[in-house]
Structure 1
Amino acid sequence: MFCYKCGTRIPDGGKFCPACGTAAQGSTAASQPAPQPAEPFPQPSPITQATSNGAMPFEDYRSLLEGRLGIGQFVPELNAWMYYSEEFRIKWGASKMKKYVFLSAFEKLDAQALRTYSDACIKHALKIYQGLPRGFQTGVSSFAIAASNAVGQDAVDLALQIPPKHYAAFELPVIADLQNRRICHMQRTPMWGALLWKDIRNFATACAKFE
């Protein structure tokens, strides 16, 4: 074997050139451990979102409404909170609508309880109403929101029906299902007051929704 660098003969078994000290071809330095691949960087666990938020407490729902309607006034005879506002629109024939929103909690809500509650709310709104006689470019709307964790199907059926007719006044019972976080009210447009019903329904949805 000869040194590839200077050509000097390297004795058999020699690892280095006796002349220049270059390592003989085929020889290797002390073996080094082979580099190991880096361990993969741990990935973060995926975030799991709950599939159901569960029932909303009544007080949380009331706070949600007050964020939209302002602070309410408690009406003992109705066992309900009342929120008042007014709205004027040209498309209503340059008329003003005085809106009374009522909110009460029910341990169990059936059709009879909803009918009795909504009837009491519209009567209370008409009793405390002040201003020009109803019908003289002014009207009254009553929104009876009944909140419950146990809503019967008969109550839902009633809420979807056309409510009783009143002179220059509108009554709309609204169910707030706290267990399933959804609302329910009439979706149809009665012939009487047809010009206003769409806006009345939209207002009910906007103030009572759970989002």
Structure 2
Amino acid sequence: MGTNTYLSKVYSKLKKDGFELKKDKINSFDVTVAMKKEFKLSWLATQMNFFIIIGVSKNVKKETIENFSKNCMDYAIKNNKGLPRGIQAGVVSFALLISSKVDETAKKFTQARPKKHFAAFEMPIIFDLKENKIYYYDKNPIWGFIYYKTFRNFIERYFK
């Protein structure tokens, strides 16, 4: 699958479900940012602000996805609107990098437990165009366990 085909597919799903999409720049990456707020009683009556940040890279190494994910998390926290984090509100940053050349260490990084943040979740994701496969953390940690099923379902629905 080509980059443009994959992006069109992802953007279409996001728009259909009411996400606002905009173009922006995060460090050296031209990105598309999709945002939406969701509230669920099953999250202990918490509002979660979703930030989906999508970039394209010629090749992805561990450092590439690690830095991209960190910068996306910083962007999400900085641009978070509404209730302050921690007061029945949280932020999740889905940092999706798309590439046809992905290093094994980068794949392993996305499959490892993401870094912890106060009332915020960092979810690094890679879509490998060559393998037509998505790489992400698919476990359910104790910290944040009530959210991770939703995160995994979200990734499978929009990015696969």
Relative to the length of structure 2, the TM-score reads 0.92
* Secondary structure, counterpart of 1:83 in structure 2: strand
Partner of 1:184: 135
**Which consecutive residues of structure 1, in runs of 5 or more, have no partner in the other structure?**
1-55
* Secondary structure, counterpart of 2:95 in structure 1: strand
Tell me how many residue pairs correspond in the alignment. 154
Report whether the alignment pairs 1:74 with 2:31: no
Moved over 2 A (4+): none
Query: Whole-Å Cα distance in 2 between the matches of residues 73 and 193 of structure 1?
Result: 28
Q: Which residue, 57, 63, 69 being the options, matches 2:8?
A: 63
* Secondary structure, counterpart of 1:196 in structure 2: helix
* Secondary structure, counterpart of 1:72 in structure 2: strand
Higher relative contact order (CA 8 A, sep 6+): 2
Considering only CA atoms, is the larger Rg found in Structure 1 or Structure 2? Answer: 1
Question: What does 1:123-202 correspond to in 2, within 5 Å?
Answer: 123-202=74-153
Structure 1 window deviating more from structure 2 (112-121 vs 127-136): it is 127-136
Higher helix share: 2
What's the CA shift string for 1:34-85, capped at 9, x where partnerless? xxxxxxxxxxxxxxxxxxxxxx221111111111112621112342111111
Query: Whole-Å Cα distance in 2 between the matches of residues 63 and 129 of structure 1?
Result: 26
Question: What does 1:16-165 correspond to in 2, within 5 Å?
Answer: 56-70=1-15, 72-77=21-26, 78-165=29-116
Query: Whole-Å Cα distance in 2 between the matches of residues 108 and 131 of structure 1?
Result: 36
What's the CA shift string for 1:80-128, capped at 9, x where partnerless? 1111112111111111111000111110111000000000000000001
Higher strand share: 2
Query: Whole-Å Cα distance in 1 between the matches of residues 83 and 37 of structure 2?
Result: 14
Relative to the length of structure 1, the TM-score reads 0.71
Query: Whole-Å Cα distance in 2 between the matches of residues 204 and 139 of structure 1?
Result: 18
Q: Kindly provide the amino acid, as one letter, of the partner of residue 61 in structure 1.
A: Y
Structure 1 window deviating more from structure 2 (116-125 vs 81-90): it is 81-90
Q: CA RMSD in A?
A: 1.1
Displacement, 1:162? 0.5
Provide the identity percentage.
31
